[in-house]
């Protein structure tokens, strides 16, 4: 159960193949947004991505900065997340550090906080955590911070796989009370 300070803004449950899921209705009512993407499966091997929406349209080809850590559970090899990516051109404001494969049992879970998304004078920041099991033998997890290097006001987010479709999953966007 989510704390009462979190107000459900938008949600979607995907049970058949789709290219993307939009979570909209972001407004100045909230300073911080929280999203949960659960039990996500893909049709093709790819990364789980979150893209910004401004004026209800998906933004592409922007600069974003990121830093974080990722790890494969079987080998424990901790590595940098998006190494040398400061100021890199992106199509997303967050994504998993490892690809989710389409082998049996592969699912992904991501949660994130979006801060400053309603300011037209400051950049938007995100913090994400994710965990996935690619199959019965390999799992991965990580966390990262992102800066959307633009002062546009966000109206929503789009979730998609970097390649192919999303087969199923649960998607939620919450606004966090200001007080």
- In a domain, residue 107? The reply is yes
Task: Give strand pairing partners of 100.
Answer: 46
CA distances from 145 to 4, 93, 130, 148, 154 (A): 25, 10, 12, 10, 17
Task: Identify whether 16 is part of a domain.
Answer: no
Summarised one tens digit per residue, pLDDT across range 22-48 is 999 999 999 999 999 999 998 888 889
Residue 88 has pLDDT above 70, yes or no: no
Asked if residue 82 belongs to a domain, the reply is yes
In this prediction, residues 158-177 reach a mean pLDDT of 95
Is residue 141 within 8 Å of 77, Cβ to Cβ?
Answer: no
Contact between 110 and 47 under an 8 Å Cβ cutoff? The reply is no
Domain count, the chain: 1
As a whole-number percent, the residues of the chain with pLDDT over 90 amount to: 53
In sequence order, the 6+-apart residues with CB closer than 8 A to the CB of 7 are 30, 174, 175, 176, 177
Q: Domain residues for 51?
A: 21-176
Which pLDDT score, from 0 to 100, does residue 75 have? 67
User: Would residue 128 count as lying in a domain?
Assistant: yes
Residue 14 lies in a domain: no
Least confident range of 4-13, 59-68, 114-123, 144-153: 59-68
Q: Is residue 67 part of a domain?
A: yes
pLDDT in tens, 95-146: 887 777 776 567 899 999 999 999 999 999 999 999 988 666 678 888 888 8
Q: Name the more confident of 135 and 68.
A: 68
Contact 135, 66 (CB under 8 A): no
Q: How far apart are CA 116 and CA 119, in angstroms?
A: 6
Residue 167 lies in a domain: yes
Is residue 95 situated within a structural domain? Answer: yes
């Amino acid at each position: 159960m989510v704390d009462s300070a979190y107000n459900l803004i938008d949600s979607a449950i995907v049970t058949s193949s789709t290219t993307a899921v939009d979570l909209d209705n972001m407004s100045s009512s909230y300073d911080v947004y929280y999203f949960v993407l659960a039990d996500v499966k893909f049709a093709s091997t790819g990364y789980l991505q979150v893209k910004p929406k401004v004026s209800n349209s998906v933004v592409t080809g922007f600069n974003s900065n990121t830093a974080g850590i990722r790890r494969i559970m079987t080998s424990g090899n901790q590595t940098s997340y998006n190494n040398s990516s400061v100021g890199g051109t992106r199509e997303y404001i967050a994504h998993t550090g490892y690809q989710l494969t389409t082998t049996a049992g592969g699912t992904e879970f991501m949660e994130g906080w979006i801060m400053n998304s309603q300011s037209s004078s400051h950049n938007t920041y995100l913090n994400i955590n994710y965990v996935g099991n690619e199959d019965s033998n390999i799992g991965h997890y990580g966390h990262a911070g992102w800066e959307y290097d633009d002062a546009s006001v966000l109206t929503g987010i789009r979730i998609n796989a970097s390649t192919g479709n999303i087969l199923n999953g649960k998607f939620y966007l919450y606004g966090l009370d200001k007080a």
